[in-house]
Amino acid sequence: MFEIINELSSRLEILSGIKGILGYICIATAIMIGHSWVNSGSNKKSIDADSVEEEEERDPPRNFTVKQLAYFDGKKRQK
């Protein structure tokens, strides 16, 4: 097994001129696989969140007059 890896590594080094190229290829491949794995889950969650928002009922519009809103100024009233 190690003989095959060493032979592949030496051939890649001869072709590219970069020492340790097989290690760089392994790291880059792992990064791409991890990136696609992490991002594939986020797409499903965002689709589910969008569908939940569409199902919620919207509040009806409220048309209050200035006289009605004047009572609700944030101060507590004594009863």
Count CA atoms within 13 Å of residue 58 on its CB side: 4
- The per-residue pLDDT for 48 is 56
- The per-residue pLDDT for 42 is 61
C-alpha torsion angle, residues 21, 22, 24, 30 (rounded to 10):
160
The whole model's pTM is what? 0.46
- pLDDT tens column, 2-59: 899 889 899 989 989 888 889 999 999 999 999 999 988 765 555 555 555 566 777 7
- Report, in angstroms and rounded to the nearest whole number, the Rg of the chain calculated over CA atoms: 31
- The per-residue pLDDT for 54 is 60
- The per-residue pLDDT for 60 is 76
- The per-residue pLDDT for 49 is 56
DSSP class of 20: T
CA gap 72, 16 in Å, rounded: 75
